[in-house]
Amino acid sequence: MQVSLPNIERVERVALPARESAIIVVDMQNDFVKPGGKLVVPSAAKTIEPIRRLLEKARRRGVKVFYTQDTHYEGDPEFAIWGEHVRFGTWGWEIIEELRPQEGDIVVRKTRYDGFYGTPLDDLLKVYGIRNLVIVGTVANICVLHTAGSAALRWYKVIVPEDGISALNDFDFHAALRQISFLYKGTIVKSVDGVEFQ
| Residues involved in catalysis | 27, 110, 143
Burial (CB count <10 Å: 0-12, 13-18, 19+), residue 62:
exposed
The whole-angstrom separation of Cα 192 and Cα 179 is 19
Tell me how crowded residue 124 is: count the other CB atoms within 10 A of its CB.
Answer: 15
Q: Is 198 helix (H, G, I), strand (E, B) or coil?
A: coil
Across the chain, the runs of DSSP E, i.e. the strands, are 14-16, 21-26, 64-70, 106-110, 132-138, 157-161, 165-166, 187-189, 195-197
Q: Is 91 left (phi over 0), alpha (psi -120 to 50) or beta?
A: alpha
DSSP run (H or E) holding 174: helix 170-178
The whole-angstrom separation of Cα 70 and Cα 187 is 25
